[in-house]
A and B are shown apart, each in its own frame.
Chain A
Amino acid sequence: EAGVTQFPSHSVIEKGQTVTLRCDPISGHDNLYWYRRVMGKEIKFLLHFVKESKQDESGMPNNRFLAERTGGTYSTLKVQPAELEDSGVYFCASSLGQGASQETQYFGPGTRLLVL
């Protein structure tokens, strides 16, 4: 069974440009999460989808970030316009979703974003 996949693996863009990251969760997983690790900081939660609905977006830093999960399958995270402080590694995770919180979250390999 395929794990969580993310695309692209790396992205280098200039300040002010737009970047869209994609995450494909493990097949059948209702819960999808975005996290990020910016330089020198801990891995931080961004948001959580249950199927196509945003369950918790308390970690989204500002309105330059837009996450979608149309149809409840893959998700995209768009940063527009990108700023220097957005550089870091963006992780996606998924979990099965049984109505309880006691589930393992499986992480993807991450997208390394560098904003110049």
Chain B
Amino acid sequence: GIQVEQSPPDLILQEGANSTLRCNFSDSVNNLQWFHQNPWGQLINLFYIPSGTKQNGRLSATTVATERYSLLYISSSQTTDSGVYFCAVEPYSGAGSYQLTFGKGTKLSVIP
């Protein structure tokens, strides 16, 4: 099956700093989503981005489908950005299954 690798596994930032999280995937995808798991364990949708670039406030994401990677940018980080960031992909296939394969996540800690 498709492999999803996220880097770095852990990241510690000073409040106000910028960061880039990376997601590599091993095959073509129909769907790619970025999630933020907050300290309460909830998975919050950040972006649906199988290709191209999107921005939402201090967050932006870029997926280069032909090179099989996606980047999540966090600017001016805040302590509320802490948590685990997951990348999840749906492999391209005609089988009609929309299952997402998740990476192991990047654990972000933003310190005051």
A residues neighboring B (CB under 8 Å): 31, 33, 35, 42-45, 48, 55-56, 58-59, 89, 91, 95, 101-107, 109-110, 112
Contacts and interface: CB of A to CB of B under 8 A. Distances in A.
Contacts of A33: 98-100
A102 B99 contact: no
Contacts of B105: 42
Given A33-B98, A42-B102, A45-B101, A103 B31 contact: yes
B104 interface: yes
A42 B102 CA distance: 7
A23 to B, nearest CB: 14
Contacts of A45: 99-101
Given A43-B86, A101-B31, A107 B98 contact: no
Q: Which 5 A-B pairs have the closest CB atoms?
A: A45-B99, A56-B97, A107-B43, A43-B102, A104-B48
A101 B30 contact: yes
Nearest to B96: A55
Contacts of B103: 42
Interface residues of B, number: 25
Interface of B: 30-31, 33, 35, 40-43, 45, 48, 50, 86, 88, 90, 95-105
Contact of B41 (A59, A103, A105, A112): A112
B98 A31 contact: yes
A88 to B, nearest CB: 11
Contacts of A106: 45
Contacts of B40: 109
A93 B73 CA distance: 25
A48 B97 contact: yes
Contact of A102 (B41, B50, B88, B100): B50
A17 B41 CA distance: 25
A59 B98 CA distance: 12
